[in-house]
Each structure stands twice: as structure tokens, then as C-alpha cells.
Structure 1
Amino acid sequence: MSNSNELFKHLRMSELPDFENIELIPIGSDGIENNDKMGVLSEELPILPIRNMVLFPGMVIPITVSRQKSVRLVKKAYKGDRIIGVLAQANNSKEEPQPDDLYKIGTVAHIVKMFVLPGGNTTIIVQGRKRFEVKEFIKLEPNLLASVSYLEDNFPKKLNKENKALVSSLKESAMKILNLNPEIPREAQIALDNIESPAFLVHFLSSNINAELKEKQGLLETLDGIEQATKLLEFMMKEIQHLELKREIQSKASSDIDQQQRDYYIRQQIKVLQEELGVESPEQELDGLRAKGAKKKWSKEVNDFFNKEVSKLQRTNSMSAEYPMLMNYAELLVDLPWGEYTKDNFDLAKAKRILDADHAGLAKVKERIIEYLAVLKMKGDMKAPILCLYGPPGVGKTSLGKSIAKALGRKYVRMALGGVRDEAEIRGHRKTYIGAMPGKVISNIKKAGSSNPVFILDEIDKVGADHRGDPSSALLEVLDPEQNNSFVDNYLEVEYDLSKVMFIATANSLDTIHPALRDRMEIIEVSGYTVEEKIQISKKHLLPKQKEEHGLGKDSFTISDAALQKLIEGYTRESGVRKLEQEIGRLVRKITKSIAMNEEYPTKVQAADIEKLLGQAFIEKDAYESNEFAGVVTGLAWTPVGGDILFIESLLSKGKGNLTLSGQLGDVMKESAMAALTYLKAHADDYGIDYRIFDQYNLHIHVPAGAVPKDGPSAGITMLTAIASALTQRKVKSKLAMTGEITLRGKVLPVGGIKEKILAAKRAGIKEIVMCSKNRKDVEEIEKSYISDISFHYVDAAEEVLKIALMKDKVKNPIKLEIKE
């Protein structure tokens, strides 16, 4: 009984040779053997180590010995008094154990019988007598010999009600285990019924309970009989729970098999009914999938993967929850356009005509797109930078992508990235999740029906990031020509070639785009439209579109150019045309209402009619203010909705030379003001400024519209001119505006947003603009007709700015500066 995984296994000892001739020691009423027959026990005992079992007093068990020391010991003892000490070995090693490997409490055993079995092994039948504790090991050779003290059981002779209930629970639990475990022989029940002694019952059950060696040794070392019985009951309850769970699992497995057979029969019936009704059965669906898969132009790896998925579907119960998930996945595989491409139309002249017809202005952008298409025509692949159209809202970035798709004859798809924070939106969810689906890239490719569409990544600067991942990083693989030929979607699991897709991104701002993502794209600025361009866009696109949407004919009414200009300048303030389209729609609705109600309406809308139809203009045109005040200079600024003009005001007041900045200025503008002031302090003599003024007068610089945050380097030379005008009380040149950054050395640096700023200046009636000479190239890119009435002064140093901007005349009623000696 080297392993007690099953209860009451010792009852099979009758299978041993000559078991009938074994003479056992009589058991007393206390469950312990009769010592009168055995004689007095010695204080020195030969020790037999045993593995994987514990011998309890009164128990009869077979022990097979194979180690040389153990064989010599039992043969010698069998010839003598047949008394040995049995100690359990703490480890499971087959080597000869050392004293430290043995537990210190064991059981004295009487060798009842010894057998030499075929193969050389020796088996002994032993009967446990009483417990002992090792004081010390006296000898190690030729076998272990130990000095011992004997331990008496502490089991009450007379049981109280509580103890009787405990013993009764032990018997009931044992009977329950017998009923739950069919492998235990029925003789065990007879043996239990014949046990009258509570002490012997505890030892009997402790010996046969299914527990670990350490736990059984713990029961042996528990001398208090009631405490041992309590621990034993805990182990038996665990065993009952284990057996009940085992029976439940077996019962469930059996019922599952029965259910599967029942389900098979029902499915066969359903199949027959579906055939009668003409409804596709699961087998027919799978055949359809295989037929579609056979027509696909995919690689051998993908084909093998698809066939594996279909085989998995075939093995899955069509009524199970997993079946529709597997079916959806297989259908996605066959629905994707593997290797399916539309033929490109490389008529570049036609492409140019389409771009010109769809978009007024944007000459630089359209030229770059034609270059891009020309390279694609000559090279034949898409390994080129991804285009990113960057500019303010409503300038036609997304519609440019539509025009490119129309010019090439490709499918067009658009993916809105605004507010996307989950990486799974790009790469897809893993199939292990309920409700998993592919990412937007693969989903849109499926929707397009070809592997080479024009793919618009709209609002790429609005991509966010949170605990669910960084979508910007996921886009790196999509937009890298060196990697996207083997893009792997988490849901799809196999590589998909995106290298033939023409990706075009759009953005309003470059600051929030991931640096690595920005590096993969070629930035093309789509700046705002001039008033003339907006008039042409309104006449060619916006007005016809709004007439159609409101059910009016093309000739129902017309709008003059003057009326459109008034509409643009008085009701919109933007670089693009989105707000303009809304206002034209509002105007068309007014006329539609008049037509529907048979009221009079203007068939040709003039400028005077705009206010009658739309009410008072709510946007005041940016206008230049006179140069009657010293220290007031017109600057040019860039805003997300286009260019604008701003006024820098500076004023002197008696004080201690303090500098005050107001108007909700950002750090960069504050630094520009301090740099300009320091430059003038250093060059005061050059401009006829008494240096003592800086210590005796406070300087206040203010930018109106204080509720609007303002920042940027563009106001550097504007602030310089404003401070110089305030200090000298000289007039600033009339109808002059400027933009540019300044350094402490007086060097003028270039700035951005030139086209938008020039358009703002033109709207305000500015006639001359001062800017850095390095911005000349930006001006040359603007169509000449738009800037024909503006003069440009290109400068490199601060003294050039002041020479152009400051007049020799002083303002009317200049401030009298009183300088103390």
C-alpha cells in the first residue's frame, strides 16, 4: 500500500500468498493489541523506513522492501522476536535514508508474515502495535537502531454525547465515501460494521483516508484521540466533496454525450426541413465559402489558413455560440479584395482638368498632386511619402482626395480619426473578445472592394491616446511604405498588403501629430482662399449645390459678384468656405420660402438685397486705423480660421521705468516685447532717444481683444516699431502693416502663415507690408492678381524696419517728455 489514493485498499490483502495462514495479534477493547501475548517492548528498536505510507496502531498492512538495509533488517527480525519500529520517510527518495530524512514519531510493528516474491522483492505483513518517539539514533549500520520512548493513546474510555456524535459522524462519512467510490470493495462495509472500538475506528480510518503523507503523519502524531478524530473528520469531508464533484463531472460528461447524440439527430431533421424549404444548410454555407475561397488571388499561406478555419467551422456545432463568430471571420476572409485592383487612369491632363474644375485656386497643391500621380505612372508602385494636406477647416482638404480618386478611377474611402483613442480602432480586436471586429483600415478596404483605393485619413491631428493604447503609433505601420506590404490586423491575424493603397492624410494643426508619424508624411499646406477665389467657388460649386438640395432649378435666381463679396466679408470670417456654404444655404432657404408662398423675391440678388434677406452683417471688416496716435502699429497674425490684423498699442507714463504687458499675451510675445525694448535701449542714440527716459517713464504695451489669448513670434518687429514710435512720438507710416520676429542683435527673422496674413491685410485696406526678406518666396507663390495693389518691403535688420515705418513728422499733440537731470 505504497500509495493510498483509494480508500480501504488494504482489504485486497487476501490476494497475497498464504494470507489465510496469517496469525494476527488479538485486539483489545481499546483498539490496541494485547501486550500479554507480545511481551515487554524494548527501549531500543531496529528502524524500518517506509515511503508513501504511515502505519497506525492496530492496522495490518503489506510492505514491500527492496533496499538492502531494509531486506537484511526484516529477515533478521523475522528470525527473532519479529518486532521492528516503522518510521515514515519525509521525502520520496529511493536511496538509503539518513536519520534527518525520517519523521521522529512512528509505530512499533509485529512482522506477521514474510514472503519472497518472484523478482527478488521481499514483502512482509505487519501489524501496528503502539506509537513511539525516537530519542536518538544509536547505530546506522548494518541497519538503523534507535533509542525510543513509547507513547500512550489518550482516548476516553467513556464517551460523552459530543464525542459519541463525533464517532457517529466518522462512521457516516466513511459509509458515504464507500457509496461514492465504486472501486472500494464491498467487504469494507462489513469491516466498518464490525468495528466497535472508537479508538480502533479512528486508527482504521486514518490509515485508509485519501490524504497526503504529511497529513497522515500529523494524525499519527496527534496523541489526543478526540483531536485526532476531529482532524480525521475534516479530511473525510474534503474527500466526500471531491468524490461528489467527480461524480457530478462524470454525470455531466455522460449527459453531454447524450445531448450531442440528440443534437445530431435534431440537426439531421433540420437539414431535411431546410432542403425542403430551400434554405441553405450549414453544409451548403461552408460549400459556398470554399467556392469563394477557390476564386481568391491570395497566397498559399492565406489559402491554407482559410481552409483550416473552414475545417474548424465544419467541426463546430452550428447551434453553438462560437459558430457565428467563426462564420463571420471566414466571411471576412473571402470578402476582402485579396490582390484585386482597379485599373488606374493615368491621363494627367484629364486629372488636372478634374482638379481645376473641382477646386478654385490651390495651384501649388494641385501641382504637387499632379507630380505625385506622374511619379506613380512612371514608377508603378506607391513607395513614396504619404501626402498630408494641412490647413484650416473648410479649405477642401477632404474633397481633394475625392477629386484624386475620380481622376485616377480608383475607389474612395474615408476614415475619420477625430477622437479615436483606442488602438484597436486601427489594428482591430483580438478574436478572443466577444464582439471583436477588424480595425477601421481593414473594414474600409473591405468596403472599397479593391486593394488600391484612395484612402483618406481625415483629421489625423485629432488622434488621441489613453490606457487602451496609442492609435498614432499603430498608424506608423499603416503609413510606412517599407512595412505596410505586410500589415497584420489583430482580428485578421494574417498579413494584408496595403502598399498599393494611396493614403492621403488631412490635418488642421501639425503640433499634435506624433513626430514619427509626421516624419512618414509629406506636408502640403492648403492655405485659405482669397475673396476672389471664394466668389468663384460660390458661383461654380456652393450655389448650384444649395439650389439642388433645396429643390430649386439652376435658373431660379442668380447672385451678383458684389452681393457674394458682401456675403463673404460681412457674414463669414474663415480661411475656408464651410461657413460661407452655410450662409448661402440660409439665403437660398429664404428665396425658397418666398417661391413656395408665391411672394416676391429678387431674381438677381444684389449687394443691397443681402441685408434684407440675411439681416444685418455681424462681422465687422478688419479696417486700418489712422496713424494719428504715437505708438500704435498694425501687425499681421495667423489664426486657425485664417489671417487677421491686430494693433499693438504702447504708451508712456511717468514712473520708474517699469514695463507692463497686457492683452493676454503668451510667453513668446512677452519675450518679443522685452527683446525690442532692450534693442532700443542699446541703440537709443541712433534714434534720438534720451536714455534717461527709460528710468523716468513707465512703458505699457497692450494688444486689444484681451479676452483672446495671443502668442507667437510674428509681432516682434511690430512691437519694436510701436515702442520706438511711443519713445520718439513720431508718426507711423499710413496704411502700413508688418510681420516678423526680432532678435536682440536687431536681426529680422521669417515667420509663417504669409498668405493668410496678406489676405487679412488686403481685406483691411493695407497698402504696404514689411516682412523678412526670407519670406519673399512665400509671396512669390501667391497669384500676382491677388496682391497687385500691395507693396512689399523686404528687410533683414531692425533699423530697416524703423526707417520704413517711422515718419519724420511727429503726431498731433505729442506727449511732452520731461526728463530730469
Structure 2
Amino acid sequence: MDKDTKDIKENQNEVKELPYRELPLIPLKDTVIFPHMVVPLFIGRDKSLKALEEAMLKYEKHVLVVSQKKPDEEAEVEGLYQVGVIANILQILKLPDGHARIVVQGTDRAKILSFKQTDPFFLVEFEKLEEEDSKDPEIEAMVRILISKFEEATKLGKNIPSEAVIAIYNISEPSRLSEYIATHLINSTEEKQLILETTDLKEKLKKLLKYVQKEISILEVESRIKNQINQEMEKHQKEFYLREQIKAIQKELGEAEEKQVELEDLKNKVKEAKMPPEVEKKVYKEISRLEKMPSTSAEVPVIRTYLDWVINLPWSKKSKDNLDIIKAEKILEREHYGLKKVKERIIEFLAIRKLTKSLKGPILCFVGPPGVGKTSLGKSIAAALNRKFIRIALGGMRDEAEIRGHRKTYVGALPGRIIQSISQVQTNNPVFMMDEIDKVGTDFRGDPTSALLEVLDPEQNHSFTDHYLEVPFDLSNVMFITTANLIDPIPEPLRDRMEIIEIPGYTEDEKIEIAIRHLLPKQLKFHGLNKEKVKINKDVITKIIREYTHEAGVRNLERNIASLCRKAAKLIATNKAKSVTFTVKNLEKYLGVAKYSYGMADEVDRVGVVTGLAWTPSGGDILFIETLIYPGKGQLTLTGQLGDVMKESAQAALSYIKSNAKTLNVSEEILSKNDMHIHVPEGAIPKDGPSAGVAIATSMVSALTGKKASKNVAMTGEITLRGQVLPIGGIREKLLAAHRAGIKKVLIPEKNKKDVAEIPKNVLKNLEILYIKEVQEAFQATLLDN
């Protein structure tokens, strides 16, 4: 039995009726005293000490104790509850500092009627509150529930002395039992005060049950939280113990120090890399995971490989741009002949970079036929800018992961080609060339061109995210260059992000200069020869261009020069000759019979045969359009693998001729009693496009009128049913083809006059160009009088 209970038992019959209707008042902080309870109190405030002295002298050791509403404030009349307990002072102990420690026993509830004085201590008039008692069975039931709840709270960990648990069974009065339980189970001063103020026993028990159930609910939550914490603590302790065991084993095997050195090395590399904060945070998180894992874990090599890729990226490393514009111009001139537009664009970029210091890398797209030097131009640009050069081939690429990489959870996952290449050159501002962007494919693995949309957008590529890295990498400093033979296959959204620079085919003079300046020295060096051992003059190169190649670029020209160098190397290596001189006369001996004829497009003027001009992916070319008239019913036959557009051009030409037969001196009898066959030679090669309309019409009129067409005239242009000539594309390539073929006069639409400004002067010097509006102008310029 605890001391409180013992005192209650001893004093149960000692409470006597007081002769006073006033008592000194002691305010209490965070404490509510119930009747019959023995409680120690610490008295420190002046008013309370003086009230204590007054009680000892005049009121037979009795005081009225009342709780404050707000314990952190000074005791004032308004801040006190109106119901308290009359307390008998059982013991008093004076402390050296003037304060006192007392033990009091509650006797009766009392309600304050009025304050007789507030200074130097509170003196109040009071009245006792009598509690109603009852033998209601409901009260007995609630008492039993309260006892069970008390036991439940004890089991849930409520801090209750074991003596109090035993004492609960020795209290028979429901009122005192409820107050005893309230003292030990309820924490809230406000809730205890409500219990104290309730005089109806049944109502008091109901309130107490409510408060006790609330406390038990809180205890259950606390218990659950404690269990969770204990389980986590046990888990952490177990992990700690196991890690210590692993460390001990690793130490015995000599692995612990090695792993620690490796982790420290990784952390030092992270600091040196100067990554963005969000990337650094991610890397340190992965290092922390690696540190906790045993060396035998299957995930260790995955994390280690990932960290190697991320840390080794050039986050802050960049090449210093060469901003000497004159020097850059010299490099471009030395490396490449011609290509004026491209060189101007690079010099403009350098000039702006020199002035602003912070220009984002442009996205250039070089479009032109094969062999004109698009790829090698990228290397020259890198040399001019003093940047590293990267080249990847996009031709045939069908997997989006080639650009963006695979998730690192896949077996054998790697970053995409973009990140791999940048990691390899170790600078974040290289010249990055993507070859053959027009030949990217699509299948079930995705569309690589869609992945390129972010890469090739200066407004987005500052935060390019590779699937493997899972962190953004800044590509805005990279100068991207793409190449293509045709612009049409490139998707429109991707095309919109690039600056298109067209690189047309070379003229004969340009090819000669390129061969002498670049191709010949390169092949001589490659084959271990020099100018003294092998002599190839300008005339020989001219003959190779005219009779052994037929292209817009210079790739086949280089192959033929390489073939001559091999022949010479064989002769010199076998001691059959000390030096070899190639001439126009002996060229056939080494390269074989000429593959192409150079000179007139046709040897003689012919009826129904007209020279047209065509554009092909490898440059411009000439084609012959032949028309034959023979007895029939006015039908039109078209052969030579002509496309739908070209067939429609022939139909339009025939309709125009029929509607203007009188003007053209074509009799209706010839049109109605004869069939017409139009053929374009080299039938194995598909042909299409509207630009052959003028040539087809001229060929048909020549055949119908019997007038010969001049062999020296070539033409291009689309016609309408009214005979108007519409503009077409590829003028530069077509005029170069006419020049190569030895054509003297070329007919082109008048609206293409502006395109002639880009034609080299040496080509224009040898060509007579006529600008036509109506197809009849072509008839007049081409058809000869018999």
C-alpha cells in the first residue's frame, strides 16, 4: 500500500466540520487536488507563503487550494478556477531560500463565493459542495469498466506505481475511486478540473470514462510507435553488427582498406569534376549505397560502372575557342577549296562569339550530293575553332536508345552515343558531326529522330537527360553539325531546328583545283610516293574528270588518282621504273577504256530528240527525250520508268499541242491518225519530276513538224496547259551538268533568273542562258528550219 493510500485510510474519520466560512487561498500551477488525496506541494510565491503562514496561525492549518487556468501567468482573480479543495496541512518544511515544502490532504470540495482580499494574500469566502451518492447498478458497471481500463492502461505502459495498482482494489467508494483513477490516468489539468467540479456521481463517471478511453487510445498509439522504433532499432543494430562482421572478414582478406581507398578516390574525383549541385547530390547518394553494400553483391558492379560514367564526364572541362578570325579563315581556305557560304557562316559564328563570349552552339545542316566534302568540312571547322571533333554515323540507326541510352537497370546498359562520345573527348564544347541524318530509320524500338529533337534544339539541350545517367547534361556549348544528301526525308520538326546550308556539286575547274591541292598530295603520301617519283599534270586530271568520272563530288576522282598511285607504286617497288609520268596518251593503259564521253550531248541534230536537264542526288545530269510518230489512232505511249508527275507533264504537253495545233503548224490529221511514243533512255533508272515538261513538249513538236532539234541546246522547266513555263529547283546542278556535257545554250524559266547569281563565272562564260516565259520560246530557240 502506498503512502497516499495509507494517509487516506488514517484520516478518513478525522475530517471535522470547520467553523470558518473564509480561508486563505493558495493558487496551484498544473495541479488539481481531489478530496481525500495526500499531495506534496512546493510553495515559492510571496502571496502563497503569506497565505500559508495565515493558515497555520488562524485557521487550524487549513487552506483552500485552487488551480490556475494559465499556469505560466501570475495568479489573478480572473485567472483562477471557481472550484477547489479545502486542504489540511499535514507537514511543513522551511527551506533555506525562504521557500517551503508542504504536504496537504484534501478534505472537501469548495466553491469560491467571493474574494475578501487579494493582498498581501488571497482570502476568500467559500461554500462546500456536497456530492450526490447513489446505489444505481449503472454506477457499479461503470466502476468495473474503469478498473479494467486502469489495468489496460497499466499494461500499455502508463507510468503507474505497482502500489497504486494494488490500492485500486481497496477503495470501495465510487467517488473516491473515480478521483483516484483521474489522478493517475488523466494528464490534462482542464479535464481533472471538470471531474472535480462535477458533483453528480453518474455524470462524473461518464466524463471520466470518456477521458480515460481517450488516454488509452493515445497510449495504444504510443505503444505502436515504440514497437516500430524498437523493431527499426533492432534492424539497424543487426545491420550494424553484420556490417562490422563483414568489415572484419574484409580486413582479414585485405579488402577493407582497398574498398575504403576506392571510395575516397571516387569522392575526390567528384570534387574535381565540379558537377552541378543536383548531379553531385545524386552521385554522393550512389557512393553511399556502394559503401553499405558487400563486395559480393550483384549490384556493386552496376553502381560502380554508373559512377565511372557520371564522374568521368567533362562537366566543367572545355576547349578554349580560337577567336583569331584571320587564322581561322586561313585554316578553312587551306583545308577546303570553294564552299564560300559555309566558310562565311563559320567566320560569322566566331565573330559573334568573340563579341558576346556566350553564344550557344549553332545547329548546322550541310545538304549536298555525295563526295562534296561535307564530313571533312566538319574536321576543318573543329580545327579552325580549336575544338575537339566527334563524328557519329546515323545512317541505318533505328533504335532510340542509341541516342538516349538504356536504363541502368538493364543488363549491359550504357549511355547513348551522344554522352559516350563527349566522355571520350573530355570536353563539353566539341564540334559534333552527325552524318547521314536523312537516313535514320524507324521500327518497334522507337524513332531516333524524335530523340534528336531535344539534342538539336538550342533552347532545350542545356538539360539533355540520358536514360542511363538520369541527370541532366548541358549540351548547349556543343556545336552540332549534321549532314544529308536530301533534305526531304528529314522530319519537319527536326528540319526546323537546324540551319540548312546547301553544298552543291563542284565545277570542273573546282575539281581540278581540289585534286591538285588536296587529293593528289594525300594519295601520294598514303602510298609512300612523292612528286619526284610520280608526275600527274593538270591535263591528266582533266581527262580523268571528263572521261572516268561522272559525279557532283570528287570521291570517284580520288579513287582514280589512288588507282594511278598504286600502279606507280607497283612499278617502282619491282624496280621496273624509278619514276612514273602519267600523260593523256598513256592514261588509258592504266585506267582502262574511258567510261564516259565528254563533249557534245549528241553528235548530230535529230528530229524528235531533245536534251533535257535533270537533278539527281549525286548532282545534275543531262537526259535525252525521244519522240517517235507512227500510224495509229492518236494514242500516247510513255516508257523509260517515268514517274506519275513526269507522265502528267507529257499529257499536259500533248494537250497544249493539240489546242495550239494551227499556231504550231501541226495538222489535225497527223494528231488523229498517228500514235506518239515518248521514251527517255537509260530505262533502268527511275525518273520523275515536272521539270522535263518543256523538253517533252519541244521533243513532241519536233517529231510532229519534222524539224530537227539543236544538239547544242538543253532545257528545263515545268509547263502549264496554257504553255507558261514555271520555275523549278536544282538550277546550279543542272547548269553544271550542261557545262560538263559541252552544251552551248541553256533554256531556263525566267523566274529562276535569281538562282543564276550563284553559278561560277567560268561556267557562265561558256554557256548562253536564255530565260523563257512561254514554251513557244523554247520551240523557236531549239527547232531548226530544214
**TM-score scaled by length of structure 1:** 0.65
Secondary structure at the residue paired with 2:254? helix
Residue 467 and residue 684 in structure 1: after superposition, are their counterparts in 2 closer, same or farther (change >3 A)?
same
User: More deviation in 621-630 or 384-393?
Assistant: 621-630
- Residue 534 of structure 2 corresponds to residue 557 of structure 1: yes
Q: How does 1:553-592 map to 2 (within 5 A)?
A: 553-592=530-569
Q: 2:253 aligns with which of 251, 270, 273?
A: 270
8 Å contact 1:382–1:501 — kept in the other structure? no
Q: Deviations over 1:699-740 (max 9, x none)?
A: 111111111111112211100111111111122234000111
User: More deviation in 618-627 or 352-361?
Assistant: 618-627
Could you tell me how far 1:541 is from its partner in structure 2? 1.2
Q: What is aligned with 2:737?
A: 760
2-structure distance, mates of 1:300, 1:628 = 78
Secondary structure at the residue paired with 2:488? coil
2-structure distance, mates of 1:472, 1:663 = 35
Residue 785 and residue 429 in structure 1: after superposition, are their counterparts in 2 closer, same or farther (change >3 A)?
same
Could you tell me how far 1:393 is from its partner in structure 2? 1.1
1-structure distance, mates of 2:580, 2:447 = 55
Q: How does 1:299-314 map to 2 (within 5 A)?
A: 299-314=276-291
Q: What is aligned with 1:393?
A: 370
Q: What is aligned with 2:587?
A: 610
2-structure distance, mates of 1:343, 1:667 = 54
1-structure distance, mates of 2:635, 2:279 = 75
Q: How does 1:675-686 map to 2 (within 5 A)?
A: 675-686=652-663
2-structure distance, mates of 1:117, 1:472 = 80
8 Å contact 2:718–2:726 — kept in the other structure? yes
Aligned-residue Cα RMSD (Å) equals 2.4
Could you tell me how far 1:477 is from its partner in structure 2? 0.4
Q: How does 1:93-104 map to 2 (within 5 A)?
A: none
> How many residues in Structure 1 have an aligned counterpart in Structure 2?
557
Could you tell me how far 1:257 is from its partner in structure 2? 11
Could you tell me how far 1:642 is from its partner in structure 2? 1.9
Q: What is aligned with 1:339?
A: 316
Q: What is aligned with 1:663?
A: 640
Residue 693 and residue 297 in structure 1: after superposition, are their counterparts in 2 closer, same or farther (change >3 A)?
same
Q: Deviations over 1:443-498 (max 9, x none)?
A: 11111211111110111111111111110000000011111111111111111111
8 Å contact 2:533–2:578 — kept in the other structure? no
2-structure distance, mates of 1:692, 1:524 = 53
Residue 771 and residue 372 in structure 1: after superposition, are their counterparts in 2 closer, same or farther (change >3 A)?
farther
Q: Deviations over 1:773-819 (max 9, x none)?
A: 22222222122023311110011221222222223x13xxxxxxxxx
Which amino acid in structure 1 is aligned with residue 639 of structure 2?
A: S
Which amino acid in structure 2 is aligned with residue 679 of structure 1?
A: Y
8 Å contact 2:552–2:619 — kept in the other structure? yes
8 Å contact 1:622–1:645 — kept in the other structure? no
- Residue 544 of structure 2 corresponds to residue 543 of structure 1: no
1-structure distance, mates of 2:604, 2:590 = 37
8 Å contact 1:676–1:719 — kept in the other structure? yes
8 Å contact 2:375–2:483 — kept in the other structure? yes
Q: What is aligned with 1:730?
A: 707
Which amino acid in structure 2 is aligned with residue 673 of structure 1?
A: A
Q: Deviations over 1:508-567 (max 9, x none)?
A: 111211111011112111111122211211111111111111122343222011111122
Which amino acid in structure 2 is aligned with residue 289 of structure 1?
A: L
2-structure distance, mates of 1:658, 1:256 = 93
- Residue 449 of structure 2 corresponds to residue 472 of structure 1: yes
8 Å contact 2:604–2:711 — kept in the other structure? yes
Q: What is aligned with 1:513?
A: 490
Q: How does 1:710-721 map to 2 (within 5 A)?
A: 710-721=687-698
8 Å contact 2:714–2:746 — kept in the other structure? yes
8 Å contact 2:630–2:675 — kept in the other structure? yes
2-structure distance, mates of 1:376, 1:674 = 55
Q: Deviations over 1:323-377 (max 9, x none)?
A: 1111111111211111322111122222222112111122233223323333333
1-structure distance, mates of 2:510, 2:715 = 24
Could you tell me how far 1:121 is from its partner in structure 2? 13
Q: Deviations over 1:14-38 (max 9, x none)?
A: xxxxxxxxxxxxxxxxxxxxxxxxx
User: More deviation in 634-643 or 455-464?
Assistant: 634-643
8 Å contact 2:439–2:489 — kept in the other structure? yes
Could you tell me how far 1:655 is from its partner in structure 2? 1.2
- Residue 504 of structure 2 corresponds to residue 527 of structure 1: yes
2-structure distance, mates of 1:800, 1:568 = 34
Which amino acid in structure 2 is aligned with residue 776 of structure 1?
A: K
Secondary structure at the residue paired with 1:407? helix
Which amino acid in structure 1 is aligned with residue 388 of structure 2?
A: K
Q: How does 1:46-125 map to 2 (within 5 A)?
A: 119=145
Residue 383 and residue 260 in structure 1: after superposition, are their counterparts in 2 closer, same or farther (change >3 A)?
closer
Secondary structure at the residue paired with 1:456? strand
Q: How does 1:247-262 map to 2 (within 5 A)?
A: none
Q: What is aligned with 1:355?
A: 332
Which amino acid in structure 2 is aligned with residue 668 of structure 1?
A: V
2-structure distance, mates of 1:375, 1:774 = 35
8 Å contact 1:650–1:723 — kept in the other structure? yes
Could you tell me how far 1:263 is from its partner in structure 2? 5.0
Could you tell me how far 1:623 is from its partner in structure 2? 4.0
Secondary structure at the residue paired with 1:400? helix
2-structure distance, mates of 1:795, 1:601 = 58
Which amino acid in structure 1 is aligned with residue 755 of structure 2?
A: D
User: More deviation in 520-529 or 383-392?
Assistant: 383-392
**TM-score scaled by length of structure 2:** 0.68
Q: What is aligned with 2:676?
A: 699
8 Å contact 1:591–1:601 — kept in the other structure? no
Q: What is aligned with 1:793?
A: 770
1-structure distance, mates of 2:400, 2:359 = 25
2-structure distance, mates of 1:560, 1:374 = 40
User: More deviation in 561-570 or 654-663?
Assistant: 561-570
Q: How does 1:346-385 map to 2 (within 5 A)?
A: 346-383=323-360
Could you tell me how far 1:117 is from its partner in structure 2? 13
Residue 740 and residue 116 in structure 1: after superposition, are their counterparts in 2 closer, same or farther (change >3 A)?
same
Which amino acid in structure 1 is aligned with residue 378 of structure 2?
A: G
Q: What is aligned with 2:466?
A: 489
> Share of identical aligned residues, percent?
52
Secondary structure at the residue paired with 1:563? helix
Q: What is aligned with 2:424?
A: 447
Which amino acid in structure 2 is aligned with residue 351 of structure 1?
A: A
2-structure distance, mates of 1:684, 1:380 = 68
Q: Deviations over 1:411-432 (max 9, x none)?
A: 1111211111110111111111
Which amino acid in structure 1 is aligned with residue 353 of structure 2?
A: L
Which amino acid in structure 1 is aligned with residue 671 of structure 2?
A: F
- Residue 671 of structure 2 corresponds to residue 688 of structure 1: no
2-structure distance, mates of 1:404, 1:311 = 43
Which amino acid in structure 1 is aligned with residue 314 of structure 2?
A: P
